[in-house]
Structure 1
């Protein structure tokens, strides 16, 4: 055997070993969890799953299949990669790709739609379809104003976690919302959050209806401008005394609402006649724009920490009665600082005022629950879309779902896809450093190096 032949044989064997090693490595990498194969380098951490999702998925006892339906060559890889993160969390979740071009019959058999995530649970025989357009949302204003196609939000976790909760849960719940007192309407954000927690909003007029439905587990009054009628107050009071749950976003009103306030008094709370202000924790020199104190240890503060911030505007003020009615306990979950103020037309009274509280009454059988918020601005559409880092919606949804023993708050807001830029918010020394010092030092250093090299 010649030397050339031997050398060629060694090269061929070495090449085969390298090729085999690459194949084996690809097979190993292919079996690694998605979070290992693809790190979340996005600015808003769109692939990172939160505690709510992890708790829900790890607690699954039913098998769920997530079908990525569409033409694989056109499906956004972010969606496929994101769905596989769920598969990594639980053995009960399986992700499959369903090619709608090659296998349209399978798509029709499942009753799925093209370009969507189709979530199915065989144990409950329930399905949910999430269009890709509901996951990667476009900025409609950019299109209509400038003719540009711009991605605005990624709502993968909110939509998929909600869908999994829906298909694995046999429970359907309603929130009965009163009408007839010039109540505020829920915005898109609130409606979407309620839907994600599998809650449907059903309007009810107590006067024309004549009663509160037997299947009502939560009656909600959203910023009523006018007072309850005497008949309505009795209806709500009787409902509570029968073990019902009521939630009121009272808000400040220039009109007296004796029946509404009388209902609160039955549960140890009182709406003061004035606006709440805070001279310690406020936004942009406006004491009526309050950053409320959130006491720790309350069931409504789950998912909040020291870094979580809520903001309320033009809020009413509430106090707790000195002598609570028999069997009533009051637990505040939102209040002003010790520098809070009750502002009326003729005076300002300093003190700590309640902005949100839960009053529970122990009954012979069961308990009644009254949740009161002194401002509807907590769920204001403009406020929560302008300040996407606020904890307002999480607090509200915790307050809502706490009324249902078998409903969890799985309402996860969408994550922004806007590009974040590092900006220097104030000038002064920082402005001098970045605008003058660093550029001048860089130029001088380069000049010195160039001169040294030129002399060599």
Structure 2
């Protein structure tokens, strides 16, 4: 063995001695390094020249050994941290500070929520965040209460044990808002078990139920009982034959009771019969009843003069006649109008046989178009149903609170026209109209598409007529009605979602002219609200959901991929 080999072996031994001082994990690494060094040395000894000078291969080996030794010395000489010091440093770390900050903010937020809830509960503050404010009283109720000058007390009949149940809280949320609008209105709870004779003392002969109300006008002594069955709306499930509650008419019934107690003379409406007229819909009847308007069916032939009609009612209703009026009846209606009478007319769709009735309307410059109106503009009809019109509205007292706010639906209706020739004392105000692209189809037509010879729009769906003379002003509202009893005031479209119920209510207010005030507040529905779209809106929505939204996701995905590739 030559001196070079001996020297290299000595270096290896020296390196091994150094590793004994290293921690276990470093020692393993050094052993592995030493074995590699041996292999390098053996290979180097085979090829190295025999001289005492160090070859170039020795230098990297020594450097590796020295680095390993230094690493071991550094770890072995490093002082070990105590547990207390580690815990102390953890409290000053950036991670701990960030977590502590989040915890403090969360605690503050919780405390603020609790304090706000306590304040709102103490002050009895409720905020309705629903889109249509279904838990707040309507503006119509506020307007009604603003005119109440009598002392009104609302007695809520509820057992003391049930004052905190869900239904009581829901009812209370409504009627507790009444005193806030008018200090003349007060609310009291009465337990029918503790005070069994209370209702009879107030003149209520009916058997009272829980969750019912007694409204009393302490100024004039009038009272009205609002029963629980009058408030709830139910629907029968024909599969289980069980009734389920679908809505609550608490606000409308309370408004009606207050109107009843504060109105001295209640209005009367004569519903004309004897010409195949359609019955009034349940929604129309309900609104009239809540407005404390008595509806009396009558035949014109029982009246000999217009003065009898004027004495008998505040206004008359002619609802879709199917057979004609006599000459005497038409003359009676004309005299009635001339002397300040009020008429609400829903025309029929098949008016060819109603010769006298058509002449009566033409006497007031209103013409009837035979057939059903179809809308040619998809912006003015329901989706895929051109015969379900959504007429536009002129600004008037009758449409002012509906125009640009709610849709009025006119199903299967005939068209009205305004004649160019009219008497000087007659004025006609247009209320509802179709687009210029609408057209009318005869009932015998085999296709719905427009054909040559079909009358074209625009058509009117509602008009307001006034006949003025030196002493009186007669008022008449004419609305076009539809095929098989369909009407602009059909029950299906008298929901709060549409403007039909407001149109009917405003029409009655116009005709009674301050004698009474209608209650058009719709019952609170427990069902989900249904969205209605015009055909044009539905088509645009379909394009957005089917094409625009997926395309947007695709574009965003492509942009993300391109940006990632650029960063790489």
Which of the five TM-score ranges fits, normalised by the shorter chain?
Answer: 0.7 to 0.9
Query: Tell me, what secondary structure is at the counterpart of 1:49?
Result: coil
1:374 CA displacement: 0.9
1:302·1:398 contact (CA, 8 Å) conserved in 2?
no
1:31 CA displacement: 6.7
Aligned partner of 2:218 among 122, 134, 156? 122
C-alpha distance in 2, partners of 1:377/1:358? 17
1:308 aligns with 2:406: yes
Residue aligning to 2:139: 51
1:29 CA displacement: 6.0
Query: Tell me, what secondary structure is at the counterpart of 2:398?
Result: helix
Aligned partner of 1:272 among 346, 364, 369? 369
1:169-248 superposed matches below 5 A: 169-211=263-305, 212-213=308-309, 214-248=311-345
CA shift in 2, pair 1:240/1:107, >3 Å: closer
Which 5+ residue runs of structure 2 have no aligned equivalent?
1-115, 446-451, 532-537, 555-568
1:338 aligns with 2:436: yes
1:30 CA displacement: 6.8
C-alpha distance in 1, partners of 2:200/2:339? 49
Q: Deviations over 1:95-125 (max 9, x none)?
A: 0001112222334322452321111102222
1:64 CA displacement: 0.6
Aligned partner of 1:165 among 233, 240, 259? 259
1:145 aligns with 2:239: yes
CA shift in 2, pair 1:166/1:27, >3 Å: farther
1:356·1:372 contact (CA, 8 Å) conserved in 2?
yes
C-alpha distance in 2, partners of 1:254/1:398? 27
Using CA pairs below 8 Å that are at least 6 residues apart, which structure has the higher relative contact order?
Answer: 1
Residue aligning to 1:415: 524
2:209·2:228 contact (CA, 8 Å) conserved in 1?
no
C-alpha distance in 2, partners of 1:189/1:421? 18
Aligned partner of 1:101 among 182, 185, 193? 193
C-alpha distance in 1, partners of 2:233/2:475? 38
Query: Tell me, what secondary structure is at the counterpart of 1:152?
Result: strand
CA shift in 2, pair 1:408/1:126, >3 Å: same
C-alpha distance in 2, partners of 1:411/1:197? 8
1:39 aligns with 2:127: yes
Residue aligning to 2:177: 85
2:324·2:356 contact (CA, 8 Å) conserved in 1?
yes
C-alpha distance in 1, partners of 2:302/2:383? 45
Q: Deviations over 1:52-91 (max 9, x none)?
A: 1111111211111001112133352211221101111110
C-alpha distance in 1, partners of 2:400/2:518? 10
Task: Calculate the TM-score normalised by the size of structure 2.
Answer: 0.66
Aligned partner of 1:367 among 455, 458, 473? 473
Aligned partner of 1:405 among 513, 520, 538? 513
C-alpha distance in 2, partners of 1:56/1:119? 15
C-alpha distance in 1, partners of 2:341/2:471? 12
Structure with larger Rg: 2
Which 5+ residue runs of structure 1 have no aligned equivalent?
1-24, 438-456
2:291·2:518 contact (CA, 8 Å) conserved in 1?
yes
Query: Tell me, what secondary structure is at the counterpart of 2:508?
Result: helix
C-alpha distance in 2, partners of 1:204/1:245? 15
Residue aligning to 2:18: none
Residue aligning to 1:134: 230
C-alpha distance in 2, partners of 1:172/1:420? 34
1:226·1:255 contact (CA, 8 Å) conserved in 2?
no
Higher percent of residues as helix: 2
CA shift in 2, pair 1:71/1:371, >3 Å: same
CA shift in 2, pair 1:73/1:255, >3 Å: farther
1:363 CA displacement: 0.9
CA shift in 2, pair 1:261/1:120, >3 Å: same
Q: Deviations over 1:377-426 (max 9, x none)?
A: 111124446xx51111210121122111222232211121125699x986
Aligned partner of 1:291 among 351, 368, 390? 390
C-alpha distance in 1, partners of 2:528/2:341? 47
Residue aligning to 2:4: none
CA shift in 2, pair 1:126/1:373, >3 Å: same
CA shift in 2, pair 1:40/1:274, >3 Å: same
Q: Deviations over 1:320-371 (max 9, x none)?
A: 1112212111101111122222334672122211111111111121111121
